[in-house]
Homo-oligomer: A and B are copies of this chain.
Amino acid sequence: MAEISIRKARQIIKGTFAKGREMELKPLSVIVLDAGGHVKAFEREDGAAPGRFAIAQGKAYGAVMLGMAGTAQMARAEQQAYFMAAVNGVYGGQVVPVPGGVLVRDKKGAVIGAVGVTGDTSDNDAEAALAGLALAQLEGEI
């Protein structure tokens, strides 16, 4: 399956945490999913709340499953709340439709996975994710 290698996944996590420290954000949690929505890597910084795995996963999972990043999901949720609620239902309650769910594509435009970041504001989470992707020489769609 197309996926972000474990080496690249570690770089994404490292770069996201580094940006979080630089921006003085709250402790972050970062997940990297493959193109099928399955977990490749995850880290939760010391001091982050225990339930952060599910939030990070929810942000990234919706992005992969719908082929739609967090910002676009949030726009849809603002317009048609019942639609995103229903989408969440069909995906077993695993979708968190806000920024911080970042879609990752290869150079031909095919989705190879997603990154989910949580811990600070949604916009800061997304900014830190992009820094992580940059360290891994990947581009993200927030």
Q: Which residues does A use to contact B, with CB under 8 Å? A: 1-3, 5-6, 9-10, 34-46, 48-51, 53-55, 57-58, 64-68, 77-78, 80-98, 110-112
The 9 A-B residue pairs with the shortest CB-CB distance in the complex, in nearest-first order: A36-B36, A51-B65, A89-B93, A49-B67, A1-B35, A54-B90, A38-B50, A39-B53, A77-B82
Known: A1-B2, A36-B35, A44-B41. A64 touches B51 (CB 8 A): yes
Q: Which residue of B lies closest to A93 (CB)?
A: B89
Known: A93-B90, A95-B89. A36 touches B50 (CB 8 A): yes
Cα-based distance from A64 to B58 in the complex (angstroms): 18
Q: Which residue of B lies closest to A2 (CB)?
A: B1
Residues on B with beta carbons closer than 8 Å to the beta carbon of A53: 38-39
User: Can you report 17 A-B residue pairs in the complex whose CB atoms are below 8 A from each other?
Assistant: A6-B45, A36-B38, A37-B51, A38-B50, A40-B43, A42-B42, A49-B68, A50-B65, A54-B91, A77-B82, A81-B85, A82-B85, A85-B88, A86-B88, A86-B97, A86-B98, A89-B94
